[in-house]
Amino acid sequence: MKRRVVITGMSAITPIGIGLQKFWTGLLEGRSGIAEIARFDASDYTSKIAGEVKDFDVTSYIDRKEARRMDRFTHFAVAGAVMAVEDAGIKTDGIDPDRAGIILGCGIGGMESLENTARVLHEKGPGRVSPFFVPMMIGNMAGGQAAITLGFKGPNVTLVSACASSTHAIGDAFKTVQRGDAEVMVTGGTEASITPLALAGFCSMKALSTRNDEPQKASRPFDGARDGFVMSEGAGLLVLESLEHAQKRGARIYAEVLGYGATADAHHITAPAPGGEGAARAMRIAISDAGLTIDDVDYINAHGTSTELNDKYETMSIKSVFGNKVPLVSSTKSMTGHLLGAAGGIEMVATAFVVKNDIIPPTINYENPDPECDLDYVPNKPREAIVNYALSNSLGFGGHNATVLIGKYKA
C-alpha cells in the first residue's frame, strides 16, 4: 500500500533573496535577481551577467573551520538542509536517524574548487594541492556533508542529470518515503557554478543571453526576443515526510506530493526532442502516477529557460498533453535565472507556495508575443487562482525529463 507523502519544510537560497519569505515575496513582486557578475572579472566574456547569491554567510550554519573544507555548492546545500529542517520543526534528536535520509540533485559539483586547485597545481606543483580537494569537488559531498551535519543515517544519494537533477531527486525521495524506506527525506538541489571556466563553456555554446546592458531583462522565457538563459546559483530544499509521521508530531503541511514522471529523449546531447515529446511523456506519467487526469491540473511551473528551442518545444509538449484545456503556466526562471542542477528544487519550493496560497508568480519580461509560444504564461503580474494540483517540469542536457505533481493537502 502506497503511503501518503507531504511537504513539511522548505528553504530557499536564491539570487532574489535568502529565506522563504524573501524568496516568495520577490517572486510575487516580479523582482529580478540578475546583475553583472561580481565574483570575478567577466569583461572578456560574451555574457557578463548572472544570478549570484548575495549576502550569504555560511558561518551562520557551519563552523568556520569546516566551511573552509567545503565548496560553495556544499555550503548552500548544508545551509539549505538546516533551514528546511528548522522550517519543518524537526528536532534531529527526536526522530529515528536510520529512517531519515537525503537525496539531492547537483549538475556540476565543486567547479570553483576544481578551477582554483588546477591553478595551484599549475603554479605551485602537486605538493601544494590540498588534501581536501577531492571531497570539496565531488558532487555527492553536498548530501554527505548535510547528513553529517544533521545526523541523518538513512538513504543518501546525489543525482546528476544536468538541469533535471533536482526534480529527479525530489521524485526519488518521494518514492523512497512512499514505499516505506524512510519516514523523513531532505531533498532538492544545489549549484554554485558561476565560475570563469563554466561561464566560458556556456558562452562557447552560445547558450547564454548577451543582453548585458539590461541584466534584469535578460531572462525572458517564452518571449519573442529571448536570446538565451542566464546562469544562476543557489539551493532549494524540501522536507518530505510520510503523512503518518508528520501527523504524529503535529507538523504544518505545505502540500502533498502525488506523482512523479521521468523519461529520456534519446535524441541529442543538448537539444530537446522535436515537439517536446519526452517532456510530454514525463507529464503524462506524473499525472497517471497521481491517479489524476489532465482536467485536474491547474498550474505548471515550466522549465522555461529563455532559450529558443526549450521554450518552443516545452510549449508544444504542454499543448500535446492538455489539448484545449491547458493550465496556467509560468516560469520563475524569469526572475531567478537558471540555477542549473538546483533549478528543480527552488521551483518546487515556488510551486508548493502556489498550491498553498493560490497565487501564481508571473513570467516577467514577457513583452513580445511569440506565435510559437502562445499559452497563458501569467505575464508580468502575479495572478490569484485556485490551484488544487500543480506540475513542476525540469528538462536537462542529455535528454533528461522529470516532472513532479503536487496538490493541496486534504486530511
Q: Tell me which residues are annotated as active site.
A: 163, 303, 338
Q: Residue 411: which residues within 8 A CB-CB, separation 6 or more?
A: none
Identity of the amino acid at 390: A
Calculate helix-pair angle for 111-124, 72-88, nearest 10 degrees: 150
Specify the DSSP class assigned to residue 373. Answer: B
- Rounded-to-integer distance, Cα 25 and Cα 150, Å: 28
Give the sign of the dihedral formed by CA 131, CA 136, CA 138, CA 142: positive
- Rounded-to-integer distance, Cα 272 and Cα 286, Å: 19
Complete DSSP assignment for 259-284: EEEEEE--S-SSSPPGGGHHHHHHHH
Give the sign of the dihedral formed by CA 151, CA 156, CA 162, CA 164: negative
What values do phi and psi take at 72, rounded to 5?
Answer: -60, -35
- With contact defined as beta carbons under 8 Å apart, do 165 and 82 qualify? no
Residue with cell 535568502: 18
Strand ranges for 243-335 from DSSP E = 255-264, 299-301, 328-330
- Rounded-to-integer distance, Cα 261 and Cα 290, Å: 10
- Rounded-to-integer distance, Cα 354 and Cα 254, Å: 10
Which cell numbers hold the place of 225? Answer: 526576443
- With contact defined as beta carbons under 8 Å apart, do 257 and 368 qualify? no
71 CB neighbour count, 10 Å cutoff: 27
**Which region holds residue 275: left if phi is over 0, alpha if psi is between -120 and 50, else beta?**
left
Strand ranges for 169-297 from DSSP E = 184-191, 234-242, 255-264
- Rounded-to-integer distance, Cα 118 and Cα 116, Å: 6
b or e along 214-230 (b: 16 or more beta carbons within 10 Å of the residue's beta carbon)? ebbbbbbbbbeebbbbb
- With contact defined as beta carbons under 8 Å apart, do 373 and 318 qualify? no
